[in-house]
């Protein structure tokens, strides 16, 4: 399923994500592609760029593949 603004995602539970590890966040903006990959802003955080590989699951549809 193609990720869109307003959808909730879970950040991977990994110490590399520091305080965001395992948290559920809302996609608040599509950003320009980052290294030819879709990029997102979460929870209106300025200066933070998130990619699909940073997410462990799509909360509303955990069994669907994120695009």
Domain boundaries of the chain, sorted by first residue? 8-58
- Give this prediction's pTM: 0.88
C-alpha neighbours within 13 Å on the C-beta side of residue 59:
13
For residue 25, the surrounding DSSP H or E stretch is strand 24-34
**Percentage of the chain exceeding pLDDT 70:** 100
Backbone angles phi, psi at 65, to 5 degrees: -80, 135
Mean pLDDT of the chain: 91
**For residue 33, what pLDDT is reported?**
87
Structure tokens at 64: 């669907």
Q: What is the spatial distance between Cα 35 and Cα 21, in angstroms, rounded to a whole number?
A: 23
Q: What is the spatial distance between Cα 40 and Cα 3, in angstroms, rounded to a whole number?
A: 9
């Amino acid at each position: 399923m193609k990720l869109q603004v307003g959808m909730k995602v879970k950040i991977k539970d990994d110490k590399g994500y520091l305080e965001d590890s395992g948290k559920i966040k809302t996609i608040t903006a599509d950003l320009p592609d980052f290294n030819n990959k879709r990029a997102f802003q979460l929870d209106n955080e300025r200066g933070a760029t998130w990619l699909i590989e940073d997410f462990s699951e799509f909360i509303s549809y955990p069994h669907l593949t994120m695009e």
